[in-house]
Amino acid sequence: MLEARPLPARLRPLVAVTLVLLAGLTGCQRSSDGPPAAAAPAVVPVAMPSAGLPDFASLVARVGPAVVNITSVTPGTQVAGPMEEGPFGDFFKRFGMPRPQFETPPQRGEGSGFIVDADGIILTNAHVVGSGSEVTVRLTDRREFTAKVVGIDKRTDVAVLRIAAKGLPTVKLGNPEALLPGQWVLAIGSPFGFDNSVTAGIVSAKSRALPDENFTPFIQTDVAVNPGNSGGPLFNLAGEVVGINSQIYSRTGGYMGLSFAIPIDLVVYVKDQLLATGKVQRGRIGVTIQEVDQQLADSFGLDRPHGALVSGVEDGSPADKAGVVAGDVITGLEGVAIDRSSELPARVSRLKPGSTATLEVWRDRARRSVKLTIGELEEPVAKVANAGKQARGGRLGLAVRMLSADERKARRVAGGVLVEEVTGPAAEAGLEPGDIVLGVNGRRINAPEQLRDAAASGKPVALLVQRGDTQLFVALRPAP
């Protein structure tokens, strides 16, 4: 038989606390002399996402082989030595002696790119290619190819390359318009030369305008991008390229959480024109614009700050002919609202020259529509010949570009290419910047490719050159 014994005094407080806790766990209890005790608060489960963080491994395995490393070598240039000026310079001039020249060492640049066509078409940044005479593409399987520069568009920082290969892995292109701030994105590139490095982040904002970048509505992300990532693809979670990583905002030269990508739809627009014609046509309307702030909105009677305020109109421009005046606020183009002034140049530039467009304008506190004919924005440099070897300007030592319609009219020529820079064989033969090469080996030319192809054989070529009102033949032997 069990015998009841009193609890030792030292254990009585512990038992009392235990009984209190047990009473709390039993829910609502009614005491013999008071109201019901308060119920314990219900435990609310924390909502967990149906899936955790994205697993990028399968995406990288699928798209990584289409990302390439790009190396560009810019040759050294001849510069005057320290005796070029001063008494020593006078000495050389007086006695007709050749002045000392020194060559700067070649410069090497590195970046990224991606394959968009299985037959060797690659996209990258224009600043990755630069003025390099030798561009090398390295695939993930470590094969290397010398690339031909099909075209460069400096305004959008886009370059198109071609390599002699077939059956290459390619990327799929997506729709950057469908991107939303906060969505995951992924970058693959070669930061600091580390091939196929993968970084991830989210879209921070869209349609960002940067200083001196009027034609590109950048995608802002917080993806880690560093030197060498330039030209590489920005992927969405479907494995589609939505942009080309192009720039960072940094006070140190390294990544600081702000990176910018060129939307892929704009890149494709540029690529298609470079492949078709070697240059990019852009629309223009001929206005100077500025942002509308709250004070300007109040003064013009707008309900809020939006649109692009016209501060100047070029004489004879499409806008001038259509009656656009300073003080107009352009609030829409072809039915698409213009919220910020930075949106207008990018949208106008993608309109075909010669087409008709409608502007929505706020004038005298009322809305009105203005129809105009889109003009063409003249490009200062359309395309530079690239022979793939030797010094800047290729084997002939010539850097040339196509002539605009106005230039052909002013020079009274039907075709030809304009010489912009001479080195090597061209300089030795006496060619000068500003000369127009009309023909090569008895055939008329109209594009830089024709000049480059003529030099490919390595045999001497005869150039028909116009200088001022005079035409002359100049014989060149291409550099090896």
Catalytic residues, by residue number, are 127, 157, 230
**Residue 65 is which amino acid?**
P
Taking the C-alpha atoms of residue 310 and residue 98, their distance in angstroms, rounded to an integer, is: 55
List Cβ neighbours of 408 (8 Å cut-off, separation of 6 or more).
Answer: 414, 415, 416
Place of tokens 């410069």: 107
Of 182, 204, 186, which Cα lies nearest the Cα of 249?
204
Question: In this structure, what DSSP letter does residue 453 have?
Answer: H
CA distance 247 to 229: 9
Tokens of 19: 């009984």
The set of residues, in sequence order, having a beta carbon less than 8 Å from that of 469 and lying 6+ positions away, is: none
Report angle CA 297, 348, 345 to the nearest 5 degrees. Answer: 55
**Residue 447: which of 413, 479, 418 has the closest Cα?**
418
Residue type, 458: G
274, 160 in Cβ contact below 8 A?
yes
Is the Cα dihedral 309, 312, 318, 323 positive or negative? positive
Round to whole Å and give the CA distance between 205 and 387: 40
Q: Residue 360's closest CA among 374, 377, 344, 376?
A: 344
- Provide the residue count of the chain: 480
Query: Helix %, strand %, coil % for the chain, to 5?
Result: 20, 35, 45
Residue among 393, 450, 386 nearest 416 (CA)? 450
- Bridge pairing between strands 240-248 and 172-173: parallel
Tokens of 419: 């010489």
What is each CA distance from 61 to 174, 198, 232, in whole angstroms? 18, 11, 16
Distance CA 130, CA 112 (A): 13
Q: Hey, what amino acid is at 126?
A: A
